[in-house]
Amino acid sequence: MVYRFQCRRCPFTVWSTRRDAIADAAGSHILSHYRERVTKQDFRIRWSCPHCERSGQHHDGDAGVERFEQHLFEHVESSVESGVHVADDIDRTGGVLVRAPRGSTGLDNARVHFLSPGGVVLFVTTAPAERIRLLDDALNEWPARTIILTTKPDPLGDISELDLSAASLEVVRLDSRLGLSEVGETISRVVGEYEDVGGKIVAAFDILPELVEKFDLQTVFKFLHVLDTRLTRADALSHYHVDPRTQSQSTINVLGQAFDLSIVADDRRFVAGE
């Protein structure tokens, strides 16, 4: 079960499977709109609610702020929705940029969340074994079809111990010397094979950091725009990964403009509009 809280005053949105993670994130976010309501006086911290008569005084500053955040959240708690998907915010079709460190739990959580509605799962990745393992671990059953586009030689060699007999797996090898337009054409061809059959297409695009390293940003941006248009025409839900530890904020901001939604994923929650 996924919960969602949306701020009434700005585009901030948080999703989580845990209500306590929603309460923490929403409380501290709402406080950011009411900083002037917290004052320090005689070694004490004092807060007063902008919505009601309540106020508080605390000797421990952190505890005081936390109490105020909890109180602010109580005013909006009834607006927390349940049983949602992040993709609801874009009508379940389009591209989402996921900002998370490579190899992090948050990134895997985002992958599983975005892949789960898919009948046809399409990975563009340099780590096919890890992605197949993730599907095997996280989903109750294999997607109707799983397609892996990769430059990795012997892509399934590392997972010979897994039983893939029910996986309906197809591997498409990409030549690492290919230019972006050839990569785009290959993805488009694969999407074309499945767009009218076999259910929702979800695409996981892992190789954005590699592309940014190899090509100039403007070229990558144009490629993403064309690719996103193609996938959206196929009614696909796609997500693309960037790593904020290795990519500059300005690069991420430029890339973000190619997509319908941009989220930060950590091990407890997803956040947009921050």
Q: Rule CB under 5 A: which residues touch Zn ion?
A: 7, 9-10, 12, 49, 51-52, 54
Cβ nearer to Zn ion, comparing 13 with 150: 13
Q: Enumerate long-range contacts of 207-215, CB under 8 Å, 24 or more apart.
A: 207/124, 207/125, 207/126, 208/240, 208/241, 208/242, 208/255, 209/102, 209/241, 209/242, 209/243, 209/246, 209/247, 210/126, 211/180, 212/242, 212/247, 212/251, 212/255, 215/180
Q: How far is the CB of 35 from Zn ion (least distance, A)?
A: 12
Residue closer to Zn ion by CB (options 29, 131) is 29
Nearer to Zn ion, 32 or 229 (CB): 32
Alpha helices in the chain (DSSP H): 19-33, 61-76, 105-115, 128-138, 180-194, 208-214, 217-233, 249-256
Cβ proximity to Zn ion, 76 vs 252, nearer residue = 76
Kindly state the smallest distance separating residue 237's Cβ from Zn ion, in Å: 26
Q: With contact defined as beta carbons under 8 Å apart, do 103 and 130 qualify? A: no
Nearer to Zn ion, 18 or 51 (CB): 51
Least Å distance, CB 17 to Zn ion, is 22
User: Distances from the Cα of 156 to the Cαs of 83, 128, 149, in angstroms?
Assistant: 35, 7, 12
| 67 versus 133: smaller Cβ distance to Zn ion | 67
Write down the least CB distance from residue 72 to Zn ion, Å: 7
Q: Alpha-carbon distance 7 to 21, whole Å?
A: 15
Closest separation in Å from C-beta 57 to Zn ion: 15
Nearer to Zn ion, 27 or 118 (CB): 27
Nearest distance from C-beta of residue 82 to Zn ion, angstroms? 20
Select from 235, 183, 186, 230 the least CA-distant residue to 210.
Answer: 183
Q: Shortest gap between Cβ of 261 and Zn ion (angstroms)?
A: 17
Specify the residue, 27 or 128, whose C-beta has the smaller distance to Zn ion.
Answer: 27
Residue 90, token pair as written in the block: 């874009």
Write down the number of H helices and E strands in the chain.
Answer: 8, 14
- What 8-state DSSP symbol labels residue 167? S
Q: Which residues of 61-89 are buried (b: 16+ CB within 10 A; e: fewer)?
A: eeebbbbbbebbbeebeeebeeeeebbeb
Amino acid at 210: E
Query: C-beta of 70: minimal distance to Zn ion in Å?
Result: 11
